[in-house]
Structure 1
Amino acid sequence: NAARAMGLEDKVGSIEVGKQADLAAVRLSDLETQPLFHVASQLVYATGRHQVTDVWIAGRRKLAGRQLVDMDVEAILARTRQWRERIAAV
């Protein structure tokens, strides 16, 4: 009920068409996630980033089948290099 308490119930707080949501799909069928007894524990303690297959941010898909969507990887890398230089100069 946090979204309701903050007056944001019409925008967030549940997974519905027209609302913003951040979601991640995780593949738990790999050998290293077996045996699977408790999903929450598995996600917290034994699952790595390589098992994340799909991600939606604010309702928009950003990772599909482990491939970035709508992102200019070269531009992102260029910015990281700029930040590296700025940090190193301090």
Structure 2
Amino acid sequence: MKETDWRFKVANREALIGVGLAIFNFIWWFGFAYGLGSRPVEEYTYIFGLPDWFFYSCVVGFLLMVVLVIVVVKFFFVEVPFDEEEDVR
């Protein structure tokens, strides 16, 4: 039985981290957009001229995701060589 290449394990782990970040981003966006945005318009508060739900879901969410992606790539992703390894026996 041939052993799975270690690069597939690394790629699978990094793909799962990426999916986790995407799910976190959606939950963040959905929570603020529909949580704060479901109020009547008269009750909205504004930050820099934007409704608070939009500011937190889109502006702060975007900045948070940029920081999270940079941290994840810097500390959790590893460089993987793409050249074929010769079967040395």
Q: Would you say same fold, with TM above 0.5?
A: no
Bigger share in strand: 1
Asked which structure has the greater CA Rg, the reply is 2
More helix by share: 2
TM-score interval, normalised by the smaller of the two chains: under 0.3
